[in-house]
Amino acid sequence: MFYDWTYIILIPAIIFTMYAQGKVNSTFNKYLRVNSQKGYTGVEVARMILDSEGLENIAIQLTNGHLSDHYDPRKRVLRLSNAVYNGTSVASLGVAAHEVGHAIQHFRGYAPLMIRNSLVPIASFGSQAAWILFLIGFIFAPESNLMNIGIVFFLTVIFFHIITLPVEFNASSRAIMLLESQGVLSSAEITPAKKVLNAAALTYVASTIVAISQLLRLLLLRGRRR
């Protein structure tokens, strides 16, 4: 099972994942060197937009790591990496506004985000249980339903990745609209900000493709074992 031709299915997905990761890093680093005309920092822009949306209760914290920016819906905290928190580049402001977009989604009850948040524990359990059940069924009980049950669990992972796509794309759309409407970035600066967010979105597309490729591989392995 571990050295078979079905691994070929994963190769295009892995290549695309490597491309997406390289794209987001190169695009972010490129526009990290392009300072915005008004000189706002990421934390200033995040605070400005949050307050304008009535989200004064959302705290903003500095977090470690590179591109580790995220919104925590449980604690209602926006966490920005140093390059974004203190950065004045169009890349920094674009990422800061994107994370604010998630906070706005949460505040307004954006359905795909609510669904994704509710799926987190289910998908986490499903990703582990799927492989355990599938392997037990594949090796010891090919005539049982264990492989099928494992595949059903893995479908929760697929759905989680799929529902993540509109969440991320919507957050980026909100970010660009807010940066433009509040005059944070000029019209000339909006384009590079979009490029940064579009590159970041590729990583979520890549994750979805990898998950679907894994599902196809499981289906092929099940069919071959039987």
Q: What is the pLDDT of residues 84-102, one digit of tens each?
A: 999 999 999 999 999 999 9
Contacts of 70 (CB under 8 A, 6+ apart): 63, 79, 99, 102
Q: Which residues contact 33 (CB under 8 A, 6 or more apart)?
A: 89
At 78 the pLDDT is: 98
Check whether 1 has a pLDDT greater than 50.
no
Whether residue 126 has pLDDT greater than 50: yes
Q: Which pLDDT value is given to residue 51?
A: 97
Rounded Cα gap, residues 94 and 91, in angstroms: 5
Active site residue 44: no
Given its phi and psi angles, is residue 66 left (phi above 0), alpha (psi -120 to 50 degrees) or beta? beta
> What domain range includes position 84?
5-225
8 Å CB contact between 225 and 144? no
* Cα 19 to Cα 16: distance, rounded to the nearest angstrom: 5
Record the pTM: 0.92
Q: pLDDT of 151-182, one tens digit each?
A: 999 999 999 999 999 999 999 999 999 999 99
Average pLDDT, the chain: 95
Closest CA to 192 of 26, 52, 49, 69: 26
Identify the weakest region by mean pLDDT among 68-82, 132-146, 184-198. 132-146
- The per-residue pLDDT for 3 is 57
Q: What is the pLDDT of residue 11?
A: 95
| Number of domains comprising the chain | 1
Q: Are strands 59-63 and 77-81 parallel, antiparallel or unpaired?
A: parallel
pLDDT digits (tens, 9 = 90+) for 60-80: 999 999 999 999 999 999 999
How confident is the model at residue 162, as a pLDDT?
98
Catalytic residue, from 44, 99, 168, 189: name it: 99
At 223 the pLDDT is 87
Task: Evaluate if residue 109 carries a pLDDT over 60.
Answer: yes
